[in-house]
Amino acid sequence: MKAITLHAGREKSAIRRHPWIFSGAIDKLLGEPQSGDSVEVYSYAGDFLGMAAYSPSSQIRARFWNFEKKMAIGQEFFSAMLDKAIENRRARGFDIKNQNNAFRLINAENDGLPGCIIDKYGPYYSIEILAAGMEVNRHLIFELIAEKTLCKGILERSDSEIRLKEGLECRKEVVYGDVPTEPISIEENGILFDIDLWNGHKTGYYLDQRDARKRVGEIAHEKTVLNCFCYTGGFGLYALRGGAEHVHQVDVSQDALKIARDLIIKNDLQTSKVTHTQADVFNYLRQCRDKRAEFDLIILDPPKFIESKDSLTKGARGYKDINLLALKLLKPGGRLVTFSCSGLMDMNLFQKIVADAAQDAKRQAQIIERFGQPADHPVCTAFPEGQYLKGLLIEVE
């Protein structure tokens, strides 16, 4: 038997069904578990708590597969978890039979498969493995996805540096069928997107901003819009379709901006109503401030500023600076749509940072909407860390 026993009093999070066990919580190891092995978990008093995947290289020393049941973690388990996720997504309006749509099928711990991300892009699947337990079972997952979805191909995008914390090397390869190296086309709310599965951000694209993009389109009518960190221009496409007067798109990547330009043409939107600028967003906003430029609607969707607890203070300062600059550029009655995708920043802290930025900008502001992850990115109530995406719609006087 391979098992771990927790220190006295350290079973409380497991009883609440939080999926992580940190290294400091472990009292004893039994059976010499190796990286990725499934182990039984016991309290100090000897009560069985659940099955978990062991990861000796990570501060998150084990991740629960389930709670309270002793069971084999193998094909039957993974098949059942995938069937559950497929049915849950179908009930929420995301059907694997639709060959043109894109959505998240497995959202790691929140779907009971810790360290596993599975995203559907049309007839292809992009899979990211981030934890040791999933690493040793990866081929089972690939086989089951191929069998259950009848997809054309599966790309493993396990190229995140997060894997290094688990003692795993980065990897990017086709593991089933064929996956084109050129971008594929998917449809989102009637808008066409070209997705680079091999080199696009995350597993190919930011599927988690689907609902927010739609909302921006609804409020952009006859507005001058500044889309910061625009990447391939998703928010800009919705704004143009929504009747924006003009959209200014800014990103540091020239390659991303080229795709943004191409997508405007592909969606038959007016190229005369959009300007693309390659620039560092912080510098661009300072230049706009110095020129006394003004906008009706500004979107801030920056990359993750906080990678660890050590970078929390620096990251919070970055969020404040960017929001302060944006708030100064809004016309009276203007709106700011601002996001954080840093999991270590909760909504309360993010709201406080934006409030402090409004105060320093000397703008009277109101929060009129909040944004989070869409229905294909569920958050387990016992795992608040799963709520990584936070957004606010701010209106200023």
Long-range contacts, stretch 49-52, CB < 8 angstroms, 24+ apart: 49/6, 49/11, 49/14, 49/15, 50/14, 52/4, 52/21, 52/133
What residue spans define the domains of the chain? 3-67, 75-185, 206-396
Mean pLDDT of 118-143: 98
Residue 29 to residue 309: CA distance in whole angstroms: 28
The dotted CATH code for 206-396 is 3.40.50.150
The dotted CATH code for 3-67 is 2.30.130.10
- pLDDT for 120 equals 98
What pLDDT band is residue 304 in, cutting at 50, 70 and 90? confident
pLDDT of 140 strictly over 90: yes
Which of 7-16, 56-65, 159-168, 329-338 bottoms out in mean pLDDT, i.e. has the lowest?
Answer: 159-168
What pLDDT band is residue 247 in, cutting at 50, 70 and 90? very high
The yes-or-no answer to whether 75-185 and 206-396 have a common fold is no
Question: CATH class for domain 75-185?
Answer: alpha beta
What does the pLDDT look like over 335-385, one tens digit per residue? 999 999 988 888 999 999 999 999 999 999 999 999 999 999 999 999 999
What does the pLDDT look like over 77-118, one tens digit per residue? 999 999 999 999 999 999 999 999 999 999 999 999 999 999
What does the pLDDT look like over 305-322, one tens digit per residue? 877 788 888 888 999 999
Using CB atoms within 10 Å of the CB of residue 270, give its burial: 0 to 12 exposed, 13 to 18 middle, 19+ buried. exposed
Neighbours of 126 (CB within 10 A): 25
DSSP state, 308? S
Residue 319 to residue 327: CA distance in whole angstroms: 12
Mean pLDDT of 12-17: 96
**363 token code pair:** 């703008």
336 and 323 in contact (C-beta within 8 Å)?
yes
- pLDDT for 340 equals 94
- pLDDT for 1 equals 84
- pLDDT for 236 equals 98
- pLDDT for 37 equals 97
The label of the residue with tokens 């193998």 reads 74
Neighbours of 75 (CB within 10 A): 13
The amino acid present at 205, given as its one-letter code, is Y
- Cβ neighbours of residue 341 closer than 8 Å, sequence gap 6 or more: 208, 301, 302, 303, 304, 388, 389, 390
